[in-house]
Amino acid sequence: MPKANVYDMSGAQVGECELSDAVFGIEPNRTVLHEMVRHHLAARRQGTQSTLTRSEVSGGGAKPWRQKGTGRARHGSTRSPQWTHGGVALGPKPRSYRYSVNKKVRRLAIRSALSAKAAAGEIMVIEDLRLDAIKTKTFAAFLRALPLSAKRSLVVMPEPRETVILSARNIPGVKTTLASLVNVYDLLGHGVLILDRAAVTRIEEVYAQ
Among residues 94, 81, 83, the alpha carbon closest in space to that of 53 is found at 81
Together in a domain, 112 and 153: yes
Q: How many domains does the chain have?
A: 2
Among residues 51, 48, 77, 54, the alpha carbon closest in space to that of 65 is found at 77
Together in a domain, 105 and 140: yes
Together in a domain, 126 and 50: no
Is the Cβ–Cβ distance between 36 and 185 less than 8 Å?
yes
Q: Which pLDDT tens digit goes with each residue over 142-193?
A: 999 998 877 899 999 999 999 999 999 999 999 999 999 999 999 999 999 9
pLDDT for 150: 72
pLDDT for 209: 74
| Segments in the chain below pLDDT 70 | none
pLDDT for 60: 87
Which helix (H) or strand (E) segment is 138 a member of?
helix 136-145
pLDDT for 1: 81
Give the residue numbers spanning the domain of 79.
46-96
In three-state secondary structure terms, 93 is coil
Together in a domain, 51 and 87: yes
